Amino acid sequence: MKKVLIIGAGGVSGVVVAKCAKLPNVFSEIVLASRTESKCIAIAEQVKQNYGVTIETAQIDADNVPELVELINKVEPFMVINVALPYQDLTIMDACLETGVHYLDTANYEPKDEAKFEYSWQWAYQDRFKDAGLMALLGSGFDPGATSVFTAYAAKHYFDEIHFLDIIDVNGGDHGYPFATNFNPEINIREVTAECKHWEDGKFIKTPAMSLSQSFTCPDNVGTYNIYRMYHEELESLTKNFPSLIKAQFWMSFGESYLKHLEVLGNVGMIGIEPVEFNGQQIIPIQFLKKLLPDPSTLGPRTKGEICIGCLVKGIKDGKKKSVFVYTVKDHQDCYKEVQSQAISYSTGVPCMVGAKMMIEGHWMKPGVWNLEELDPDLFIKDMDKYGMPVRVIEQDGWGDLEI
């Protein structure tokens, strides 16, 4: 039983706090801190009403290490769960090192002034965390996170060697808005418009954003969707940790309306990250756009349909080719009924809580900085099932049937 400090009070945080509050035998006390304390209070009130659990709240600027150190020293948690933005990863890791507290996040570090995300900045903390006897678990959301564990699970139980990996993220849900993002709009748009990179024959190959798409039929009658190849951070760690991979790609579904709006917004300069002078004020276009768009945490009541996210792994077992699809299907409205959230925040929040639980219970406790596929997948998969994200596996002979 351990006390946790959760930083960030957006869509994902609402789910993480609810899921942790439901497990008082693991998360004995929860303190929720964020830039805007009123958002922490709103989450705390909802959790009190739903589960009768009291959560303390605090205001914090997580860009400021001395402020973070002061808060962590006051709260004295076992670990910090970072569900603020990727911009805050390094400052929170610094504060954890200074105060001797474990760390977990759901997305890798990005500098604010450069739309570039990679693990190098956080992997550079490996020795400092190891020497301090502290653990940092990186990317414990769905993708990265569950997809990292799904790949490790397939490699462990179904193959002698894995050769091809396609991570497929389909959101078959509809929120009824012409344009809205399912998680933080700034991070989402920076990710989707980034140059595509996929792994092939020992190196990353760059192609223009959204330049390759195809149709994918999800299992369990979720439907057929257009999926677009893009870069996603888990490709960097998975290709390092599974060097037998010959080709690794990430695919995400997008609707016509989303793509049309994104193209126009890009053409008129509304997704720029450089400041623009307007009426004597410096405005960053993408941050102004975020202000105009629906808040992802409010999409829950209106999003209908299912998500299907999984890893299609192809490799060799006992000298024969085989394919395995490890995946989860979740209904947006089921998530809303349970924790008043849409399925994207839900599917990030559940693996985030499970990752923290693995650390608190000691199953994954190991000093150093780790990606999820470096840890044993079995108990994590069991807990995903138990806490709302059932994991299914389709196993087939040969490489051709579940074609990507």
Which of 191, 194, 205, 217 lies closest to 248 in space, CA to CA?
205
User: Please, what is the minimum distance in Å from the beta carbon of residue 254 to ligand NDP?
Assistant: 15
Residues 193-232, interacting with ligand NDP (CB under 6 A): none
User: Please, what is the minimum distance in Å from the beta carbon of residue 368 to ligand NDP?
Assistant: 20
Question: Interface with ligand NDP by CB under 6 A: which range of 6-14, 44-52, 117-125, 201-209?
Answer: 6-14
Alpha-carbon span 180 to 388, nearest angstrom: 25
Among the listed residues 6, 31, 34, 250, the single contact to ligand NDP using CB under 6 A: 34
C-beta of 106 vs 249, nearer to ligand NDP: 106
Report if residue 93 touches ligand NDP, rule: CB under 6 A. Answer: no
DSSP symbols for 130-156: HHTT-EEEE--BTTTBHHHHHHHHHHH
Which of 180, 187, 193, 264 lies closest to 231 in space, CA to CA?
193
Residues 50-89, interacting with ligand NDP (CB under 6 A): 60-63, 83-86, 88
Which of 16, 39, 13 lies closest to 27 in space, CA to CA?
16
Report if residue 360 touches ligand NDP, rule: CB under 6 A. Answer: no
Which of 334, 335, 376 lies closest to 355 in space, CA to CA?
376
C-beta of 323 vs 353, nearer to ligand NDP: 353
User: Please, what is the minimum distance in Å from the beta carbon of residue 255 to ligand NDP?
Assistant: 18
CB atoms within 10 A of CB 4: 27
Report if residue 340 touches ligand NDP, rule: CB under 6 A. Answer: no
Please return the burial class of 249, using the count of CB atoms within 10 Å of its CB with bins 0-12, 13-18 and 19+: buried
Alpha carbon 249 to chain centroid distance?
A: 17
Report if residue 150 touches ligand NDP, rule: CB under 6 A. Answer: no
Measured CA distances, 338 to 69, 261, 387 (Å): 34, 31, 11
Report if residue 330 touches ligand NDP, rule: CB under 6 A. Answer: no
Question: Interface with ligand NDP by CB under 6 A: which range of 11-19, 171-179, 218-226, 363-371?
Answer: 11-19
Angle at 90 between CA 89 and CA 93, to 5 degrees: 90
C-beta of 315 vs 352, nearer to ligand NDP: 352
Alpha-carbon span 301 to 337, nearest angstrom: 9
Report if residue 297 touches ligand NDP, rule: CB under 6 A. Answer: yes
User: Please, what is the minimum distance in Å from the beta carbon of residue 160 to ligand NDP?
Assistant: 29
User: Please, what is the minimum distance in Å from the beta carbon of residue 46 to ligand NDP?
Assistant: 14
User: Both tokens of residue 190?
Assistant: 């920076």
Which of 373, 337, 376, 398 lies closest to 144 in space, CA to CA?
373
Report if residue 11 touches ligand NDP, rule: CB under 6 A. Answer: yes
User: Please, what is the minimum distance in Å from the beta carbon of residue 154 to ligand NDP?
Assistant: 19
For ligand NDP, the nearest residue by Cβ is 10
Q: Is the dihedral of CA 351, 354, 359, 363 positive or negative?
A: negative
Residues 371-400, interacting with ligand NDP (CB under 6 A): none
C-beta of 143 vs 323, nearer to ligand NDP: 143
Among the listed residues 55, 103, 104, 145, the single contact to ligand NDP using CB under 6 A: 145
Among the listed residues 5, 13, 167, 323, the single contact to ligand NDP using CB under 6 A: 13
Q: Report the SS3 class of residue 344.
A: helix
Residues near ligand NDP (CB under 6 A): 8-13, 34-36, 39, 60-63, 83-86, 88, 106-107, 139, 141-145, 183-184, 187, 296-297, 348
